[in-house]
Amino acid sequence: MITKAVRIYGKNDLRLEEFELPVIKTDEILARVVCDSICMSSYKATQQGAEHKRIPDDVHVNPTIIGHEFSGEILEVGNKWKTLFQPGMKFSIQPAINYPSGPVGILSAPGYSYKYIGGDATHIIIPNEVMEQNCLLPYSGPGFYPAALAEPLSCVIGAMHANYHTKPGSYIHQMEIVDGGNLALLAGVGPMGLAAINYVIHREDLKPGLMVVTDIDQARLDRAATLFSQDYALERGINLLYVNTGKIKHPVDELIKISNGKGYNDVFVFAPVASVIEQGDAILAFDGCLNFFAGPVDPDFKARFNFYNVHYNFNHIVGTSGGNEADMNEALTMMSEGLDPAGLVTHIGGLDAVIETTKHLPVIPGGKKLMYTNISLPLTAISEFKSKGEDDPLFRELATIVESNKGLWSVKAEGYLLSHAKPI
């Protein structure tokens, strides 16, 4: 089987190459990738090369395939797994497989560590450890892009589950955000922030009474308010407020005022910016939990934290990196029950657009960049479909489809793209 894939050789050294996959072993699975969502983690891996903890030291001679937020279709199943998986099944993968014998030990992950599996490829071989760790997850919902976006949603789910609270006199940690409490999402209208808003609003088991979402980009705040309106959140029992802290002289005072002076039980920081972390620290309530969600590129990144409040107010901090199998299954279940992650997607591209998109991801505006790996297509903003459609019939029809869906990507748009775009 010939595959085309984007492989990493070192710092800022990504190459789109064609090569032959070996015949699968009896404990492996051959699959076709349909789409991969580009993640900031891939950008960080590209910046760090072999210095990244998930990338092998010998990547310069044994390159690995990048991309870890992907979905596709199973083509061939080795004998060991034929009772669980069949050709034609759609799948998503939990990349944080935590397999001690992987290429870089416990941190090994598809999209970083393996020669033959990663999201930015036309075809892949899924290794035995992925199945052994129950990280190959069947997907029965519509389309493919929801399954590709299940991984970033699972990261948000895992973060919410990882927050904890205590009671004076007790050493038992009560996991989860506070039901009916005050929740703040700082720098919260990027792709992962939008995923968090979507998840919090659609949860059935528990939810905050107040959710405040901040940013300094009014256009992104306005888009978030369009996707997840205050009225809809209120119907779900949540008082949702969007706040532009860049336009407020004293944002901490204003955020405390919004909380009626109580502060916030749970604060999530979605940008690796010291001032945002310190702002989150300053608005914590008693026994407040700050979740530093955004992973920095700089291994020496630091921010100030009020340890007086750690001691006397029981404030604490957690950090999460990825979700687990249960988080992925929760994401897939919620999608099958109606949660649509289409609002996260702002750009569409093909395999030949992956390298430039990954290298320049921080400066490309918008949300998720969704790459369809078996087609050739420049990275294109959904908002540009109509103008590009003046000269290109593919974009003309895609513009019509998304306009009928409030300007959002959809299963119908995906199907049309896969049927009419130029193969890679």
Contact between 130 and 110 under an 8 Å Cβ cutoff? The reply is yes
Kindly state whether residue 328 falls inside one of the protein's structural domains. no
Q: Do 172 and 74 have their domain in common?
A: no
Q: Are residues 186 and 281 in the same domain?
A: yes
Does residue 327 lie in a domain region? no
How many structural domains is the chain composed of?
2
pLDDT tens digit sequence for 402-419: 999 989 999 999 999 999
Q: What is the dihedral of CA 332, 151, 295, 178, to 10 degrees?
A: 0
Please check whether residues 309 and 389 belong to one and the same domain.
Answer: no
In order of 248, 304, 317, 322, 331, the CA distances from 286 in angstroms are 25, 18, 13, 27, 31
Over 90: is that where the pLDDT of 324 sits?
no
Does some domain include residue 46?
A: yes
Nearest to 63 by CA among 140, 141, 152, 3: 3
Across the range 366-377, mean pLDDT stands at 95
215 shares a domain with 168: yes
pLDDT in tens, 185-229: 999 998 889 999 999 999 988 999 999 999 999 999 999 999 999
Do 9 and 140 fall within a single domain?
Answer: yes
Which among 89, 153, 101 is positioned nearest to 132, based on CA atoms?
101
Mean pLDDT of the region 311-330: 89
Percent of the chain with pLDDT over 90: 85
Which pLDDT does position 167 carry in this prediction? Answer: 87
Domain end marker among 262, 289, 319:
319
331 domain-assigned = no
Of the candidates 253, 286, 319, which is a domain's last residue? 319
Query: Considering the domain boundaries, does residue 71 fall inside one?
Result: yes
**Which pLDDT score, from 0 to 100, does residue 409 have?**
96
Last residue of a domain, one of 290, 319, 348: 319
- According to DSSP, the β-strands at 284-292 and 316-319 are parallel
Q: By residue range, what is the domain housing residue 129?
A: 1-148+340-424
pLDDT tens for 43-92 read 999 999 999 999 999 999 999 999 999 999 999 999 999 999 999 999 99
Pair (123, 206) in one structural domain: no
> Is 247 within a domain?
yes
CATH number at residue 288: 3.40.50.720
Residue 299 CB neighbour total at 10 angstroms: 8
pLDDT-derived band at 281 (thresholds 50, 70, 90) equals very high
| 92 and 173 co-located in one domain | no
Both 142 and 176 in one domain: the answer is no
pLDDT at position 73 is 98
Sorted by sequence, the CB contacts under 8 Å of residue 149 that are 6+ apart come out as: 37, 69, 195, 341, 344, 345, 368
Please check whether residue 333 lies inside any domain of the structure: no
Q: Which of 245-259, 326-340, 375-389 is the least confident region?
A: 326-340
212 and 119 within one domain:
no
For residue 297, pLDDT over 80 is answered with no
| 198 shares a domain with 72 | no
Q: What is the pTM of this model?
A: 0.84
Distance CA 331, CA 322 (A): 13
> Which CATH number belongs to the domain containing residue 14 in this structure?
3.90.180.10
- The pLDDT, as a whole number, for residue 98 is 85
Please indicate, yes or no, whether residues 239 and 263 belong to a single structural domain of this protein.
yes
Of 65-79, 143-157, 367-381, the least confident: 143-157
Average pLDDT, the chain: 95
Confidence category of residue 335, pLDDT binned at 50, 70, 90: confident
Query: Could you tell me the CA-to-CA distances from 11 to 49, 57, 158, 188, 359 in Å, in that order?
Result: 4, 12, 29, 29, 10
pLDDT digits (tens, 9 = 90+) for 301-317: 999 999 999 999 999 99
Q: Does 285 fall in a domain?
A: yes
Same domain, 55 and 135: yes
